[in-house]
């Protein structure tokens, strides 16, 4: 029923725009990864020097591993907070469910910066937490290790991604047909058996989606380390950012970015396949 002209008119502008302002920039990033900088100038000479540097210089590998460790901790902590919360809301919250759900969602849209900043004021050596501990006479001197440590980065990122993790898990739990749960109980399974053998397996796709999201977004984060991390919590994206700034080596920065991009896409692709395998429909 739609004419050829109509179809062309609606398809061409977004395709062109996305091609020029999204596909082309991503392609440029790949290209930069194979160029190099000589005497402070970008040279369009194709080579694999950047990637070789990445795999031979232990510094990069070390930061990569630290980043992966931080991202894994964030993922685990968000799951530990997000899953029980989702489970409680889905199965036990009763009539307050809708309200509580919205209460989890709201911080999701509240500025990353605002939340990171708030933690900075809490954790600082003359911050709220130290004031609180001294007020209760638990400590006498301000404790300085709350802020500027990998711990602070994990805390802030966990705070930011817990609602993200909660969301798909909650959706998965809500989709579990309640008669299945009742059948399990009627057949004599107690609460934990029902949870372990019915609910948990059926919620795995949501769990995977949430975990992948938290991991991937933490992996490429550079703001939390800058805000609350300090030198001991430098992450891979901070290296990229400095290569694009003061260190001025765009090709090397681009090569690292390409690695982050490829890891991200392959992880998401893998979880998508796993999710399909675990979904019961």
Partner 1 sequence: MRDTKFTSRSPLLAAYSTLVFAFIYLPIVVLILYSFNRDGVGGFPPRHFTLDWYRQLFSDSAIWDSVVNSLIVAAASVAMSLTLGLLAALALDRANFPGKVLFRRLVLLPLILPGIITGLSLLMFAVFAGMQLSLFTVFLGHGTALISVATTEIFAGLQKLDRAQEEASLDLGATPWQTFWRVTLPNLKLSLIAAGLLIFTLSMDEIAVTFFLIGRDNTLPLEIWGRLRRGITPEINAISALIFSVSVALIVVWYRLRARTMRSSPR
96-108 burial code (b ≥16 CB/10 A, e <16): ebeeebeebeeee
Q: Is 88 in the site for partner 1 (CB under 8 A)?
A: yes
Of the candidate spans 55-63, 98-106, 167-175, 201-209, the one that interacts with partner 1 by CB under 8 A turns out to be: 98-106
# chain residues binding partner 1, by CB under 8 A: 91
- The vertex-100 CA angle with 96 and 104, nearest 5°, equals 170
Nearest distance, CB of residue 36 and partner 1, angstroms: 15
Q: For residues 157 and 75, give the distance between their C-alpha atoms in angstroms, rounded to a whole number.
A: 9
- Residue where the block lists tokens 């008669």: 179
Position among 227, 233, 252, 255 found at the interface with partner 1 (CB under 8 A): 227
Which residues 6+ apart lie within 8 Å of 42 measured at CB? Answer: 32, 35, 36, 250, 251
Q: Is 207 in the site for partner 1 (CB under 8 A)?
A: no
Position among 45, 121, 144, 266 found at the interface with partner 1 (CB under 8 A): 121
3-state percent breakdown (helix, strand, coil) of the chain, nearest 5? 80, 0, 20
Q: Is 248 in the site for partner 1 (CB under 8 A)?
A: no
4-8: which pairs have CB atoms within 8 A and are 24 or more residues apart? none
Q: For residues 230 and 90, give the distance between their C-alpha atoms in angstroms, rounded to a whole number.
A: 39
Q: Which of residues 1-20 bind partner 1 (CB under 8 A)?
A: 1-3, 6-11, 13-15, 17-18
Q: What are phi and psi of 43, to 5 degrees?
A: -115, 130
Q: Is 138 in the site for partner 1 (CB under 8 A)?
A: no
Nearest distance, CB of residue 260 and partner 1, angstroms: 6
Q: Is 41 helix (H, G, I), strand (E, B) or coil?
A: strand
Q: Which of residues 249-278 bind partner 1 (CB under 8 A)?
A: 250, 253-254, 257, 260-261, 264, 268
Q: Is 137 in the site for partner 1 (CB under 8 A)?
A: no
Contact 172, 208 (CB under 8 A): no
Nearest distance, CB of residue 159 and partner 1, angstroms: 7
Q: Which of residues 45-64 bind partner 1 (CB under 8 A)?
A: none
Q: Which of residues 162-181 bind partner 1 (CB under 8 A)?
A: 162-163, 178, 181
Nearest distance, CB of residue 94 and partner 1, angstroms: 7
Of the candidate spans 57-65, 113-121, 143-151, 167-175, the one that interacts with partner 1 by CB under 8 A turns out to be: 113-121
């Amino acid at each position: 029923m739609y004419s050829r002209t109509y179809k062309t008119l609606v398809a061409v502008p977004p395709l062109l725009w996305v091609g020029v302002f999204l596909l082309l920039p991503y392609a440029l990033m790949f290209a930069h990864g194979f160029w190099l900088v000589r005497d402070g100038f970008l040279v369009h000479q194709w080579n694999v020097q950047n990637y070789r540097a990445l795999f031979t210089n232990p510094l990069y590998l070390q930061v990569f591993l630290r980043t992966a460790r931080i991202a894994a901790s964030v993922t685990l902590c968000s799951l530990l907070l997000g899953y029980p919360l989702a489970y409680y809301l889905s199965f036990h919250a009763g009539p307050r469910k809708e309200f509580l759900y919205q209460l989890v969602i709201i911080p999701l849209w509240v500025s990353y910066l605002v939340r990171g900043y708030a933690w900075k004021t809490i954790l600082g050596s003359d911050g709220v937490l130290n004031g609180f501990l001294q007020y209760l006479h638990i400590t006498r001197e301000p404790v300085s290790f709350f802020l500027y440590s990998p711990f602070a980065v994990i805390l802030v990122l966990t705070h930011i991604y817990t609602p993200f993790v909660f969301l798909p898990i909650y959706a998965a739990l809500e989709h579990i047909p309640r008669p299945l749960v009742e059948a399990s109980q009627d057949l004599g399974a107690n609460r934990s058996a029902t949870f372990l053998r019915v609910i948990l397996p059926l919620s795995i796709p949501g769990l995977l989606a949430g975990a992948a999201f938290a991991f991937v977004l933490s992996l490429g984060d550079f703001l939390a380390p800058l805000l609350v991390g300090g030198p001991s919590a430098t992450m891979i994206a901070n290296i990229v950012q400095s290569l694009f700034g003061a260190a001025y080596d765009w090709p090397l920065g681009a090569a690292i970015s390409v690695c982050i991009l490829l890891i991200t896409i392959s992880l998401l692709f893998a979880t998508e396949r796993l999710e399909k395998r675990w979904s019961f429909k």
